[in-house]
Structure 1
């Protein structure tokens, strides 16, 4: 499996590219900004992007969506609960930080347990609400989970935005993410990677 992550934009959101080495199909997760940077990396990896997957609908994770989608023709996937955020500048928070961003509706609405096939890679959708109602995590391999803005290295996502709930966020982490083996890699929407084991032991929000 091809797996690359890198920060984009002033908010340094992590964008991830997942690819199948055999079929060269790929997916971009959370194109938050800098479409040209993302597309250059896609070209370097030699991938045909089939899907753009969004862990949630905030501006710092969808800012380059239109540019990447237009260049690749990929389908846009988001959880059903966050789908309205794509077309509403208030809900995606763009009206508070710059030009209003209103995008096209998603091509596919995701639910808990859905499988996204990228070549021979099966990506499992884990609904982890709390940061937003439709926040998801993505199990990309036995040892890789993308946690969006739900779980960070040593921290957790904010829950003070519309649709957020701290109690729901903590429940999502404890009931759905911490069940994975300690060595499972945690690849968040911001900041460095971690592991499930490290977060169980040291994350002060999960005591």
Structure 2
């Protein structure tokens, strides 16, 4: 049970062996909602949508890794609504699901349907509530955060509670991740609630010290990134890499 309270309804489904957060947000009066990420257990999500008699306006993916986008075909068939990922993660999405299709012999859904793009600054709506998409690349080139002003930000695998996403896969960038954190997340209010792609809720304020230290060695634009002994060190984390053939599922820092 979350200690936080919202003016809208929010339900989390923890899915896949990597314990990804699939998020259902809805306005209970208007009966409209959106889904942010759905890497598995799509039947439970769809069943809940049916129980609540919701109209789902949109499914948004924070990024294209398989533990956030799996079963897109079934989801599209059930919900009949737009499904989008940032344009810079379209290739990540297609590669991840195509790899699963090649190796999975017993999967119920091995389709790789085309999906649409979303972009920096685009608004999303559900009932009386709205927010804005913020492009926060680094963990992947098209990673995005979903911001409902002064209430909530859903950060995907950009940041966790006391951790950040790995930057070990093709298209990932530690410098970009640090720039996203410094220029787009640390400028937000301390009281803003953070819901990551894995793990528990936190707040910008609770993460400020950790994240400020993490970005402290950010180089000037155009220079090479150098490590700092004072910055948080890397450790392993159950969060998949851009490269679906990699046996390492490491992230930069372990989440709590």
| TM-score between both structures, scaled by the size of structure 1 | 0.90
Counterpart selection for 1:51 from 55, 58, 82: 58
Pair 66,158 (structure 1): closer, same or farther in 2 beyond 3 Å: same
Counterpart selection for 2:189 from 169, 181, 186: 181
Alpha-carbon distance in structure 1 between the residues aligned to 2:50 and 2:95: 31
Alpha-carbon distance in structure 2 between the residues aligned to 1:11 and 1:201: 27
Counterpart selection for 1:105 from 114, 121, 145: 114
Alpha-carbon contact 2:64-2:96 (below 8 Å) kept: no
Gaps of 5+ in 1: none
Once the 2 structures are TM-superposed, how far is the Cα of residue 121 of structure 1 from its aligned partner? 1.9
Alpha-carbon distance in structure 1 between the residues aligned to 2:215 and 2:101: 33
Gaps of 5+ in 2: 1-7, 217-256
Alpha-carbon contact 1:58-1:93 (below 8 Å) kept: no
Aligned length: 205
Alpha-carbon distance in structure 2 between the residues aligned to 1:45 and 1:174: 39
Residue number in structure 1 paired with 2:95 = 88
Pair 43,50 (structure 1): closer, same or farther in 2 beyond 3 Å: same
Alpha-carbon contact 1:149-1:156 (below 8 Å) kept: yes
Q: How does 1:14-163 map to 2 (within 5 A)?
A: 14-89=21-96, 94=100, 98=104, 103-107=112-116, 109-163=117-171
The alignment's C-alpha RMSD in Å is 2.2
Larger radius of gyration: 2
Once the 2 structures are TM-superposed, how far is the Cα of residue 201 of structure 1 from its aligned partner? 2.2
CA deviations 1:115-143 (Å, max 9, x no partner) are 12222221200000001110000013422
Alpha-carbon distance in structure 1 between the residues aligned to 2:123 and 2:80: 20
Alpha-carbon distance in structure 2 between the residues aligned to 1:147 and 1:62: 15
Secondary structure of residue in 1 paired with 2:115: coil
Once the 2 structures are TM-superposed, how far is the Cα of residue 186 of structure 1 from its aligned partner? 0.7
Alpha-carbon contact 1:86-1:105 (below 8 Å) kept: no
Once the 2 structures are TM-superposed, how far is the Cα of residue 202 of structure 1 from its aligned partner? 3.6
Pair 77,6 (structure 1): closer, same or farther in 2 beyond 3 Å: same
Alpha-carbon distance in structure 2 between the residues aligned to 1:11 and 1:96: 20
| TM-score between both structures, scaled by the size of structure 2 | 0.73
